[in-house]
Structure formats: structure tokens, C-alpha cells
Amino acid sequence: MAAAPGELWPEKLRHSAESEGRPGDLASLTKSLLAALARVGRRPLREIVGQWLAETEAWTGITAWEGPMGVACARAYLELLAQAESGLPEATFSQADFNLPEAFQPPDPRAQDSPVEILTVHGAKGLEFTRVFLPCLDWQPLTGEDKIPPFLLEEIPDSRVQGLALARPYVQEKQSSLYLLLKDLKDRRILEEARRVFYVAVTRARQQLTLSAAVKRNSKGEWTIPKESPLGWLQEHYRAELPPPGTTVTWPGPELRVELLTELPPPSPWARITPDLPAPLSFAPEAAPYRKISPSQLAEAEIMAAAASAAEDGDLPRLRGEIIHRGLETLARGGEFPGVAGLAAALRQAGLDPETAQKLAPELLEELEACRRDPWLLRLLDPGLPGAVSEWLLEDLAAPDTLRRGQIDRLAFDGESWWLLDYKTSRPEKPEDWEDFIARETEKYRPQLLAYREMTARAKGLRPEDIRLVLYFTACRKVGEI
């Protein structure tokens, strides 16, 4: 599917949906993704993704392939989407992606009873284990240190005196004796701390301790052990040499079996095994203390159908609506429209390819300017109107256990009447004319606007009949009043 024509994934999906000879599973997946895409921008992103996972039975696959950890991670990411919800899918996803590195990683339920623990030495302090595996004994504590730091500050042993020395300047041939002394003290301090850490590591084992390291040959072909390393400390203690490759010897006091391997056996092939999942537990979910509804749900069936039929147009209808709504909101707040370059940049940021964005931007600016020249609309967008609001987020209790929430495009009082405007950037498909299209859209959105009027009347202390409801079609500058 990634090789399908198109620059963006929505284009690739639609081209794949039109292709013949696709496997049944791929066809079903493409159909479900396009259906989910039609809901983007109209519902929270977390809800869309969660519904898609449920409808496609993806949870069963995640459980089979990744186990409980995969399910826990997927649910944690859905919560990230919910916390980052901003109303704009791109902004929501960007915020969730930004928060992801700092997100809490849910523990793997399987790890609770795991016989294996992977810990740092500091994390293992105070703990003991039957068997301990300690790798990287060739680690050299002084390797990562700057050989000639610009200055040294060290405490003189058995005193409360701090010594400070600067590295030699470029013109000076040798370091000062104080600098060399402090450098030696620093190296000794680092090595002493490394030996303490090594002691902590090896004393975690109760019955068996397995140590491993990587050694190299010198120019003479002899195996060499780094002197200042845990392996070097062991060799210094035992005063013994490494055995010939492939043989095992025992260093006494305390007993340590040593083997030098030059070839490692190939790892056994690993295959992912799909576990046989037990039958799910039956449970009765508790009823939520309240439910949330939105007036836009009253026309959701028709809206989803329209979105699906317009799927072949890509994201253009949605992006057109977002830009027009933002532009009219800017005008109502006393601002100015951005130029063609600014609109094109906004379209590119929303995911449109540069060429299409550059072509669409002048058309959108022309539509916005035409709306500004409309005297009927301009008087309701006057920033000085008392009590006027744009993109007004509103909620109320539709019932004791029901929270109703919505967003109104524009509410304004012109001195005589309150006007509740809902901008529509859609347009009729040929051969339907504007009059029939406006009549049909007005009827479709009637329940939604009536609910908005009821919510507005409660919030403003008005009578519902004092609020006039209007659909404003930006493409033709005509209204449909309810």
C-alpha cells in the first residue's frame, strides 16, 4: 500500500480501494480506514482510533502478537490522545507525539511473576538472587575521562583542604606538579568507586555468579586484559593467565572457572508464537454516572454519509471548512485575513501537498473577501456588537444524567434580534441547484440548530423564540433560516 500512487496516505488509501485483485483482508482494512478518516475532524481523535480498533477486532491481534504489554501500551497511547485533544486532529496528534517520550510506560503484567530481573548495579543494591549474570567486565572506568581537563578540583586525602589546579597553557611544556597530583587523586577516586560498584555487583549472587568480558589480541597475537578493569582486577588477584581457547581452567581462592571462547554458537532461530488465548472473562460493566452528547450528533448520520460520498475529494472539503471558519472568526475579532502565502502555509501545515495548497489558497481568499463584502453578514461580524461571540464552546445539562456540549460559529445581537449563525462551506453537486441544496441542508441541520438555540437561551437567559437560526453558505453568500 505504501507504493500506491499519491503523496499522502489518504490518497494512497483511496487509490488502493479502487484497485482490483486485492486480498479480502486488505480490502476490508482499507474500507475501515477510509470510514475512520471520514470522522476525523468531527469527533475526538482518541474516540476515532478506539472505535477503529474495536470495529476491526484489532485488540485480539494486539493481544496475540504483543501480549498484555501490547494492550497496555495501546491503551496508554489512547489516553495520551485524549489528554492532548485540542479539536484539531493535527494539533492533537502533534501534542500526543510531544508527550510520548515523557509518558508513563505501563508495566508488563507478565513481568510480575518473571524469574528474570534486568537491573543496574545501583538498582540491585540490597537485593540478592540465586544466579547473577554480570557482563562487560572489560569496562575501563578511566576510558571516558578527559585526559587533560582544563582544571581539576579535588579534596586532599585525610584533610579538609581542596586543591585547585589549571592545566598548562599552550606555551608551557609540562603540567604543574599540583595538576599532576590532583589528576592522580582523581583517577584513584574514580577507580575506588568503580571497585565498590563491582563489589556490590558480585555480592548479589547467592549460589552462582557468571562473569563475561571481551578481550583482544595484541600485535604479537597474545590475549590481553585491560589493566584497570574488573577483569584486570580479577587477574591481578588470581595472578593467572587466560587458558587456551576452547579449554576450561579453575582459578582457586575463591574458585573461579574460566573459559576463553573465540567462536560463539549461532543463536537458535526465534519464531513468534501465537498463544492460545483463554476465553475472555464475563463481566457486567458499571453504568457511567453521566453521558455526553453533542447537538451535532443529531445530524451525524447524514453528515457521515456526506463525508463518505465526498471521500474521493480527499481532505479538501474539511480543510476548506477549517480555513473559512478561521477566517470569519478572525474578521469577527477585528483582525485581517492572511494573504495567499499565509493561507497556503496553513493548508500545507494541515497536510495538503504544496502544489494543491498553492492552487487552493487564492480561491479561499476570494471566498473570504466575498463574505466580507456581504452587507448582511458584515453587520453580524462587527466586533463592536455587544455580547457577540465566535466559535463559542457551550455546555449544559440536557437531563440530570446527560451533559450536552457543542460549539457555535457565531452569536450576535444586532439591536433588534439575536442571530445564531452556523457557517456552511459545502456546495451542491451537479445538477442540483442552490435553492434545492439550501432547503435540503436547512432541513438536515434543523435538529442541531434547535438544540443550539435551547443551550444558548439557557446560557444567556433569553427566550428561545427570540433567537433566529441561520445557516450561512459561504460559497454563494446565501442563508437558510430555520
Residue-averaged pLDDT of the chain: 84
Task: Tell me: pLDDT of 43 over 70.
Answer: yes
Tell me the C-alpha distance between 367 and 361, whole Å. Answer: 10
Q: C-alpha grid cell for residue 394?
A: 457551550
Could you tell me the pLDDT band of residue 330, with boundaries at 50, 70 and 90?
very high
The burial of 3, by beta-carbon neighbours within 10 Å (0-12 exposed, 13-18 middle, 19 or more buried), is given as: exposed
CATH architecture of 292-317+366-481: Alpha-Beta Complex (3.90)
Neighbours of 183 (CB within 10 A): 19
Compute the distance between CA of residue 115 and CA of residue 301 in angstroms, rounded to an integer.
53
From the number of C-beta atoms within 10 Å of its C-beta (0-12, 13-18, 19+), residue 448 rates as buried
pLDDT range class, residue 478, cuts 50, 70, 90: very high
Burial call 319-357: b when 16+ CB within 10 Å, e when fewer: bbbbbbbbbbbbbbeeeebbebeebbebbeebbbeeebb
Ramachandran assignment for 475, one of left (phi > 0), alpha (psi -120 to 50 degrees), beta (any other): alpha
Q: Per-residue pLDDT tens for 85-143?
A: 888 888 888 888 888 877 766 555 555 556 778 888 888 888 888 999 999 999 898 88
% of the chain exceeding 70 in pLDDT: 90
Listing DSSP states for 127-153 in one string gives: --EEEEEE--TT--TTTTS-SS-SEEE
Say whether pLDDT at 276 is over 80.
Answer: no
User: What DSSP letter does each residue of 194-233 carry, written as one string?
Assistant: HHHHHHHHHTTEEEEEEE----EE-TTS-EE--SSSHHHH
Cα-based angle 60, 63, 68 (whole degrees, multiple of 5): 145
pLDDT digits (tens, 9 = 90+) for 139-163: 898 887 667 888 888 888 888 888 8
pLDDT higher than 50, residue 310: no
CA 404/CA 83 separation, integer angstroms: 20
Per residue in 382-433, pLDDT (tens digit) is: 998 988 999 999 888 888 888 888 899 999 998 889 999 999 998 888 888 8
Q: Is the peptide bond before 254 cis (omega within 30 degrees of 0)?
A: yes
Among 202-206, 345-349, 350-354, 380-384, the minimum mean pLDDT is found in 350-354
- DSSP codes joined into one string, 372-427: HT-HHHHHHS-TTSTT-EEEEEEEEEEETTEEEEEEEEEEEE-SS-EEEEEEE---
Bond preceding residue 375 cis, omega within 30 of 0: no
The larger pLDDT score, comparing residue 283 to residue 184, is at 184
